[in-house]
Amino acid sequence: MTLFKNRPFASAIAFAVATAIPASFLAAPAPVEAAAGDLDRAVDALRGIATMKADFVQTDRNGQSVSGVMTLKRPGKIRFEYEKGVPLLVVSNGKSMYMVDYEVNQVQRWPIKNSPLGALLDPSRDVKRYGKLVPTGHSDVVSIEVRDPKRPEFGAITLIFARDASAPGGLRLTHWVALDAQNHRTTVRLRNHRYGVSVADSAFTFKDPRKTSRRPG
């Protein structure tokens, strides 16, 4: 894709996956009683996903998009496999998050706890401690903003769910909006959710492109 010939942009959009409240969800506030218990339900819904695959479309603040497949496995593992022609991989092995750039043979690493994606990977800790319900004005939509007010450099993530009886916990994660410390906003939308699929742990490793290292991911 010509989109990813711009290396700074490529790194920024991939990093934002792992690092905002969308205006479209800040409509008239929902009644307080309608949202009661939704924070706990969201935690239960995320914890109820043993494994999941979903197609994603990732869009930056300028409206440029790239797609791929997300794979999630408890505890703490996630992989973003980008579409053909995009030489990037974002993957977590349960302890650290990596962004692998195969075009320039670089690997960036940071602890999961420093990323808002911890809300997906460890919902009991992050969502319960740092999450708050955001009014949506739609009874079938649940929006939760997760940020650590004491660590603004970690950014924030807003998780948006749709009520769906067929999804774990009765809530289906439809998309999230990540805001990094530089105020760069990225939206990741999910579709074609597949729950309970077989996923090997090897899916969360990677081939290290750095010529001086033979360490596996």
Q: Which two tokens stand for residue 69?
A: 């497949």
Whole-prediction pTM = 0.80
Summarize pLDDT for 112-147 with one digit per residue, the tens.
Answer: 777 767 788 888 778 888 889 988 888 899 999 998
Q: What fold is seen in the domain 34-196? A: outer membrane lipoprotein receptor (LolB), chain A (2.50.20)
Query: 201 or 25: which carries more pLDDT confidence?
Result: 201
Summarize pLDDT for 58-104 with one digit per residue, the tens.
Answer: 998 888 899 999 999 998 899 999 999 899 999 999 888 899 999 89
DSSP lists the bridge partners of residue 188 as: 58, 176
Mean pLDDT of 25-38: 49
What gap in Å lies between CA 118 and CA 121, rounded to an integer?
Answer: 5
**What average pLDDT does the chain have?**
81
Say if CB 108 and CB 98 are below 8 A apart.
yes
Q: Domain limits of the chain? A: 34-196
Q: In what order do the strands lie in the sheet with 131-134?
A: 106-111, 96-101, 88-93, 77-82, 65-73, 51-60, 185-195, 171-179, 156-163, 141-147, 131-134
